[in-house]
Amino acid sequence: MERLQKVIAQAGVASRRKAEALITEGKVKVNGQVVTELGTKVSKGDKIEVNGVQIEGEELVYYVLYKPTGVISSVSDDKDRKVVTDFFPYIKERIYPIGRLDYDTSGVLLMTNDGEFANLLMHPKYDVDKVYVAKVKGIPFREKMRQLEKGIELEDGKTAPAKVKVTSVDKKKGTAIVQITIHEGRNRQVRRMLEAVGHPVLKLKRERFGFIGLEGLRPGEYRPLSPHEVKQLRNLAANLTR
């Protein structure tokens, strides 16, 4: 037996918090009866409807995708551009990305149909590190990098402290490679941070999400996460809340 809100979240219908709201608003039925009490437990054989639509009890799946540039981090696009789910033509579960990577950014993107797991890793209070490597215009001075390490004011507020390292410079071309580790997930955050200190991004890749990297993958390829990796990611987020 599982709590009703957990089952709804795991089906990918909504986050657990949103699932709780749907229940208290009377929008959920179990075996034809409206249920409004949080904590109600259900079994695999129960028929659960949300807003009149029966949810399917899918097997929970977890993948890491090496997202190429020129791909939308979504399950559909009104402009008919390529989306990340196009790389999973033989996966029957209704998977979706955990968070987003910009259209022009490549790298690690986790995919799942587990709403609770996705919410855990996306929620800002859990602060899972994300490592990016950027090719930037100009040769960064140490004081500029210190600004990023302390946090920098953007139009949507000051960023949390970042870890920054210049790994190489090309004086001839006037470019540099910068590794930056953040745990926030604001829209185009790394690009905006580097542009704010005068070093626009020419190319950007997310190399790690927590401890999950791109080893053995080429752009457009994916692999399933092992049960141990899924457990480690859950533990990582849980430990960060303490």
For residue 44, the domain's CATH number is: 3.10.290.10
Is residue 41 located within the same domain as residue 150? no
Contacts of range 232-239, beta carbons closer than 8 Å, 24 or more positions apart: 233/117, 233/121, 233/128, 234/117, 234/120, 236/128, 236/210, 236/211, 237/120, 237/121, 237/123, 237/126, 237/128
Is residue 144 located within the same domain as residue 200? yes
Contact partners, residue 75, CB within 8 Å, separation at least 6: 83, 84, 85, 94, 95, 96, 97
Is residue 120 located within the same domain as residue 137? no
pLDDT grade for 126, boundaries at 50, 70 and 90: low
Is residue 144 located within the same domain as residue 184? yes
Question: Which among 102, 104, 156, 170 is annotated as catalytic?
Answer: 102
For residue 235, the domain's CATH number is: 3.30.70.580
The yes-or-no verdict on residue 242 having pLDDT over 70 is no
In total, the chain counts a number of residues equal to 242
In tens, the pLDDT along 60-113 reads 899 999 999 999 999 988 888 999 999 999 998 889 999 889 999 999 999 998
Angle among Cα 207, 212, 217 to the nearest 5 degrees reads 65
Is residue 121 located within the same domain as residue 17? no
Determine which of 115-119, 124-128, 197-201, 234-238 has the lowest per-residue pLDDT on average. Answer: 124-128
Q: How many Å apart are CA 37 and CA 26, to the nearest integer?
A: 9
Is position 80 annotated as part of the catalytic site? no
Mean of pLDDT values over 131-139: 97
In tens, the pLDDT along 157-214 reads 999 999 999 999 999 999 999 999 998 888 899 999 999 999 999 999 999 999 999 9
Averaged pLDDT of the chain: 91
Is residue 119 located within the same domain as residue 217? yes
Q: Residue 182: its pLDDT value, please?
A: 94
Is residue 178 located within the same domain as residue 71? no
For residue 201, the domain's CATH number is: 3.30.70.1560
Is residue 173 located within the same domain as residue 234? no
Q: DSSP letter at 72?
A: B
Q: What's the structural domain count of the chain? A: 3
Is residue 35 located within the same domain as residue 45? yes
The yes-or-no verdict on residue 124 having pLDDT over 70 is no
The yes-or-no verdict on residue 241 having pLDDT over 80 is no
Is residue 106 located within the same domain as residue 155? no
Domain limits for position 133: 129-209
Kindly state the tokens that stand for 211.
């401890």
